[in-house]
Amino acid sequence: MEFAIKYIYSFGTMALLAVAFGISLPFDRSEKLSRVGLGLLFGIAATMAMNNPIPIADGVVVDPRNLFIGLSAAFLGLWGGVPALLVAISARYNLGGPGVEAGVLSMTIAWCAGYAWSYIVRDKVHYHPGYLLLLGGMISFALIGIVLLPRDAMLRIFLVASPFVIAFNLIGAMLFGGLLERERIIAFRYGRMQDEAVTDPLTGLLNRRGFTRIIDHLPEKTLNSAGAVLVVDLDRFKMINDTYGHDTGDSVLVSVAKQLQSCVRKSDVLARFGGEEFVIVLPETSEVEARQVAERLRETVCAIRVTLDSDALPVTTSIGGHWDGNGINLLTALRLADRALYRAKQEGRNRTEFAFAPAVADYSKAA
């Protein structure tokens, strides 16, 4: 009866940890801190397991501490696995008694097994049940730790306890690991939906919604400093689509997006606003730098050649920009940058134009 109660208690603890794991993933704002917190919970669970061992024979008890430690390394990585291991090792030293070294060694082996497993499956989106069985088997190598025990104790544990330990690890990895995997997949799908909501599926850049979200979260100090907004529009893109087909048009957009990304800083905000139009916010940028960036972008796009059979399709772009030394007002900046873009198109395309507030003279530069 006691065996059954403690067995159920162990899996109840695993279920609660899986719930905590699932809650932390979708809403995680500090991934490393979240993993450390979860790792501490796994370490506490391992400590509770040590204090509530499961009796399987006279004088022989087992507990699932190694399962908790191995799974923490497998699903939480270094940031979660190391805290779990340290908490469990500290608890084992605090318990004292014979076999401290053997216990520490077995937990360390379980941790290494879980971490090694995470590398085996690192490229897998979904973990097949066979992978979870493999994890349970790898964690069972923690039994090697009994070599540090006296010979009689080692043989008794090996002959009596090892079958229970291996079975517990296999079943636990399937059940507990399955719960963790379920929560991980839910979080993965949730994150993918969030990404799709703010990302342009063709180019991988931010879409209009993602752009607005990023701008809304920029520090006030950044928005109040000198900066620029650029509107990049491909020249005669409709003709490219009509003449060569939409697949070619898509290839052009992807190539342009990659080149634009290569020309901007990490602090800049680049988005595809739709069709052949891209918008770039250059925070904390001087007027001279803004002009240089705009011209560099134009030249970079102009160097793109999309291969069509034996021909190379040239690509050009017109860029309208607005710079303000008093900070970026997005609505005003976009309106003035659009005005500059219109002028660039009217003046012959493949050029950069800047528009400023009415009190400041306009700047334009032909290609």
Q: 252, 297 in Cβ contact below 8 A?
A: no
Question: For the CA atoms of 176, 182, 183, 186, what is the dihedral angle to 10 degrees?
Answer: 180
- What is the rounded CA–CA span in Å between residue 235 and residue 252? 11
Confidence check: pLDDT of 4 > 70: no
Q: What is the pTM of this model?
A: 0.58
* pLDDT tens for each residue of 257-276: 999 999 999 889 999 998 89
Q: Which residue has the higher pLDDT, 7 or 136?
A: 136
For the segment 336-346, the average pLDDT, to the nearest whole number, is 94
The CATH-assigned architecture of domain 208-365 is: 2-Layer Sandwich (3.30)
- What is the rounded CA–CA span in Å between residue 199 and residue 204? 6
Which token pair is 137?
Answer: 């088997």
Q: 58-67, 102-111, 319-328, 343-352: which range is least confident on average?
A: 58-67
Looking at the chain, how many residues does it have? Answer: 367
Confidence check: pLDDT of 156 > 90: no
For the chain, give every domain's residue range: 2-196, 208-365
For the segment 32-51, the average pLDDT, to the nearest whole number, is 88
For the segment 197-205, the average pLDDT, to the nearest whole number, is 88
For the segment 22-46, the average pLDDT, to the nearest whole number, is 77
- pLDDT score for 8: 65
- What is the rounded CA–CA span in Å between residue 364 and residue 358? 15
CA-closest candidate to residue 66, choices 202, 149, 164: 164
CATH number of 2-196: 1.10.1760
Collapsing DSSP to helix, strand or coil, 30 comes out as coil
Q: What is the mean pLDDT of the chain?
A: 84
* pLDDT tens for each residue of 100-148: 899 999 999 999 999 999 999 877 766 778 899 999 999 999 999 989 8
CA-closest candidate to residue 190, choices 3, 9, 26, 65: 26
Share of the chain above pLDDT 70, in %: 86
